[in-house]
Amino acid sequence: MERTVIVDALKRTDIGAEINIKGWVRTRRGNKNVSFIALNDGSTINNIQIVVDMAKFDEDALKPITTGACINVNGKLVESMGQGQTVEVQADEIEIYGTADPEKYPLQKKGHTLEYLREIAHLRPRTNTFGAIFRIRHNMAMAIHTFFHERGFFYFHTPLITASDCEGAGQMFQVTTQNLYDLKKTEDGKIDYSNDFFGKQASLTVSGQLEGELAAMSLGKIYTFGPTFRAENSNTPRHLAEFWMIEPEVAFIEIAENMQLAQEFIQFCVRWALEHCQDDLAFLCKMYDNDLIDRLKFVTENDFKRLTYTEGVAILKEAVQNGKKFEFPVDWGTDLQSEHERYLVEEHFKLPVILTDYPKEIKSFYMKQNEDGKTVRAMDVLFPKIGEIIGGSQREEDYEKLSRRAAEMGVPEKDIWWYMDTRRFGTAPHAGFGLGFERLMLFVTGMQNIRDVIPFPRTPNNCDF
Ligand code: 4AD
Ligand code: MG
């Protein structure tokens, strides 16, 4: 018999029909006469109840059907007496695919902490929480592709191995096939990469933006969506060493349109979650964060507040004067800390905020320089509970200015000659941004720790699974 996935089975109304269900046992309870098995196959957060009339089965054969075991059930779809579900399955035949020894299976009781579940990341997708999160993650990826596709953007694949440091922050993981026990050095004591795999120093990318700009200067509107790597040694609930980033890049737009695109993009994704992930969101809302759904709706219904970095710093300084305590000082010219960003969003404006025109010293070489000589046309989108969710900018399209800034910031032109060529041949105004996929996931799921919204997190000292 053809298998029915549980999400579909729960919607069926053909009471009395023969049905086949396969899945993992969540719980089993009952007595000598009847046994109730809550079965889940990952297609939905909801379980289907399998009712076993023990008179029809050999009790010993059913003994191994304990939490975590995998079974294959043939039976009849019947109306459910219990609350919360409309149908259940009256079992005729049960085959055990795999047992899960109750002494050893780590997901016995409910209510494991998220910290404990991180240690068993290979099994945590079987919990309600992580089933919900990873179904939402899939839906967010679909939302992203749909948003850009419907607006005429092309999905462009940028390389993961690269010889240039887009953000210029030096936080790159090296890629090498050299024998690390016998590293060859040049005469001046530097590592000799000439015999390495690529014949030069290579790393994992920190951003697909530079190649994305090349594509925007030919295809017009593109986006990337792929893994990104940063060797920043920051053990925070918002940083991963391996994360996914979405980077749209658009020819012929300036910063105002870039901000509008960012707002519409996030709103589209959040609306998508509200429409397509109702059961999973309701679960997360109930279990972890009662304001979650209201917060999501709020973001889809309100414009983000736009202001400059300079205005933002003035507000923060005033707050400090009025007695607000921050761990880090606020001064024009320094990067804002997450606590500052969250103050603006959560306490001052009570809205998502887009800050623009940051001091050039704290931003990357490629950003368009403003007339004032001090700021660049950067934009950061700041979100409640998260802080920075998007970083972007209008790009410097002028060859001379870009070249000067790259030199000032120590970005070797020999590494980015191909990027500079876009400014030499048919340059044009353009802008783009990067959305951290897991930061979006944090917002949409209401989870507190970024390690809980990616299946297998990579962080300092953690590369298991
Ligand atoms: O602000 P960032 O560094 O900007 C860029 O990489 C640009 N090249 C983007 C562009 O203009 N095309 O990173 C963009 C976003 C951040 O706002 C944040 O959401 C996320 O990427 N991000 C991280 N997410 C998880 N872990 C980390 N270590 C992250 N670093 C950045
Ligand atoms: Mg940033």
Residues lining ligand 1, Cβ inside 6 A? 166-167, 207, 209, 230, 232, 239-240, 243, 245, 247, 388-393, 432-434, 436, 438-439
- In this prediction, residue 369 carries a pLDDT of 97
Mutate which of 258, 390, 430, 439 for ligand 1 pocket (most atoms within 8 A of beta carbon): 439
Mutate which of 148, 223, 243, 244 for ligand 1 pocket (most atoms within 8 A of beta carbon): 243
- Asked if residue 143 has pLDDT above 90, the reply is yes
- Asked if residue 64 has pLDDT above 90, the reply is yes
CA-to-CA distance for 54 and 37, rounded, in angstroms?
12
Which range, of 211-220, 264-273, 407-416, 438-447, averages the lowest pLDDT? 407-416
Quick one: which of 314, 280, 23, 327 has its CA closest to 138? 280
Query: What pLDDT digit, counting tens, does each position of 111-129 carry?
Result: 899 999 999 999 999 999 9
- Tell me, in angstroms, the distance from the centre of ligand 2 to residue 456's CA: 23
- In this prediction, residue 168 carries a pLDDT of 79
Question: For a pLDDT cut of 90, what percent of the chain falls above it?
Answer: 94
- Tell me, in angstroms, the distance from the centre of ligand 2 to residue 461's CA: 24
CA-to-CA distance for 54 and 59, rounded, in angstroms?
7
- Tell me, in angstroms, the distance from the centre of ligand 2 to residue 423's CA: 24
CA-to-CA distance for 388 and 354, rounded, in angstroms?
9
CA-to-CA distance for 56 and 35, rounded, in angstroms?
11
Query: What pLDDT digit, counting tens, does each position of 347-400 carry?
Result: 999 999 999 999 999 999 999 999 999 999 999 999 999 999 999 999 999 999
HSE of 95, CA atoms in CB hemisphere, 13 A: 6
Q: Taking residues 265-277, report their average pLDDT.
A: 98
Q: Taking residues 239-250, report their average pLDDT.
A: 98
- Tell me, in angstroms, the distance from the centre of ligand 2 to residue 406's CA: 18
- In this prediction, residue 170 carries a pLDDT of 76
Using an 8 Å Cβ cutoff, are 85 and 48 in contact? yes
* Ligand at shortest distance from the CA of 245: 1
Nearest CA residue ID for atom 24, ligand 1: 436
- Tell me, in angstroms, the distance from the centre of ligand 1 to residue 439's CA: 9
Question: For a pLDDT cut of 70, what percent of the chain falls above it?
Answer: 100
Nearest CA residue ID for atom 21, ligand 1: 436
- Asked if residue 269 has pLDDT above 80, the reply is yes
- Across-strand partners of 430? 251
Q: How confident is the model at residue 200 (pLDDT cuts 50, 70, 90)?
A: very high
Q: Taking residues 436-457, report their average pLDDT.
A: 98
- In this prediction, residue 169 carries a pLDDT of 78
Greater pLDDT, 442 or 164: 442
- Tell me, in angstroms, the distance from the centre of ligand 2 to residue 434's CA: 8
Average pLDDT along the chain: 96
Using an 8 Å Cβ cutoff, are 136 and 217 in contact? no
**b/e map 171-207, b = 16+ CB within 10 Å:** bbeebeeeeeeeeeeeeeeeeebeebeeeeebbbbbb
* Ligand at shortest distance from the CA of 231: 1
Query: What pLDDT digit, counting tens, does each position of 432-444 carry?
Result: 999 999 999 999 9
Query: What pLDDT digit, counting tens, does each position of 226-240 carry?
Result: 999 999 888 899 999
Q: Taking residues 255-273, report their average pLDDT.
A: 98
Query: What pLDDT digit, counting tens, does each position of 67-123 carry?
Result: 999 999 999 999 998 777 789 999 999 999 999 999 999 998 778 999 999 999 999
